[in-house]
Amino acid sequence: MPEWSDGALIVGVKKFAERDAVLSFLTQKHGRHSGLVKNAFSKRQAGDFQIGNLVQICWKARLEEHLGTVKAELLTAYAAQVLDDSARLTALSCLCAMCSLLPERESVPEFFQKTLEQIALLRFDGWKTRYALWEVDLLKALGFGLDLSVCAVTGKTQDLIYVSPKSGRAVCRQAGEPWHDKLLELPAFLRSGREDADNTEIKKALKLTGFFLENHVLKTLDCTIPAVRGRLISALNDDA
């Protein structure tokens, strides 16, 4: 009987029967995984099983391919930290929902750490910029990493302001100008990693990552972008 323990972020909760739930987790060593949690909606445990919370889980099943059952111990209630902020709560929902794009049971330890960091820092300033940078990491975890370090045409590392929609590689101003209407804009903070970008730059970044999600990743996976991502972008528009 396969059995393992791991640190995990709760990224999905579906009610099953009266008090049970099928939970989806992003785990540190075992990738995106699901399992049945008994009495998840009991009075004693109801607050523990919220999306975004960090838990220690023990998963076991009769066969490896089965859904399995999970026992979970709450480590950090990240969801409670943003309950009073609708925009941050939407961002938390979006982070968790976008994890559903990851293939099941494929280990992504580096991406787990990046996602945990985003959720842990969500209550602090700079969360909008960090979310946009996280979507670049998501693309990489999904097998379509962007190369924003050097111009695909000239090899230059300066004045990179475009991205090729075909290759996902950066293009400098000089090389890209003749085809600027066919190229995607590259916000500078996606290269620098700075956390003080304004909403205009953040929306450009999400337009960039959204393009590659729609036109490369999702066509391969045959799925759709979670609707909550659109609500997050609308929240940015309202806060412009």
Instruction: Indicate the range of 3-17, 32-46, 198-212 predicted with least confidence.
Output: 32-46
Q: What is the pLDDT of residue 35?
A: 96
111-142 pLDDT, tens per residue? 999 999 999 999 999 999 999 999 999 999 99
Q: Is the pLDDT of residue 222 over 80?
A: no
46-95 pLDDT, tens per residue? 789 999 999 999 999 999 999 999 999 999 999 999 999 999 999 999 99
**In the chain, domain spans:** 3-81, 117-148+186-238
Quick one: tokens of 39? 């009495």
| Integer Cα distance of 189 and 199 in angstroms | 12
Quick one: tokens of 6? 């791991």
Quick one: tokens of 49? 């099983």
Q: Which of 226, 27, 218 minimizes the C-alpha distance to 113?
A: 27
Whole-prediction pTM: 0.94
Q: Is the pLDDT of residue 194 over 90?
A: no
Q: What is the pLDDT of residue 193?
A: 81
Q: What is the pLDDT of residue 1?
A: 79
Q: What is the pLDDT of residue 155?
A: 96
φ and ψ of 42, to 5 deg: -70, 160
Q: What is the pLDDT of residue 188?
A: 93
Q: What is the pLDDT of residue 218?
A: 83
Q: Which of 113, 125, 144 minimizes the C-alpha distance to 208?
A: 144
- What's the pLDDT band for 18 if we cut at 50, 70, 90? confident
- What's the pLDDT band for 240 if we cut at 50, 70, 90? low
Residue 17 or 164, more confident: 164
Tell me the three state secondary structure of residue 69: strand
- What's the pLDDT band for 213 if we cut at 50, 70, 90? very high
Instruction: Report the chain's mean pLDDT, rounded to a whole number.
Output: 93
Instruction: Indicate the range of 64-68, 167-171, 173-177, 219-223 predicted with least confidence.
Output: 219-223
CATH topology of domain 3-81: OB fold (Dihydrolipoamide Acetyltransferase, E2P) (2.40.50)
Residue 229 or 222, more confident: 229
| Integer Cα distance of 235 and 229 in angstroms | 10
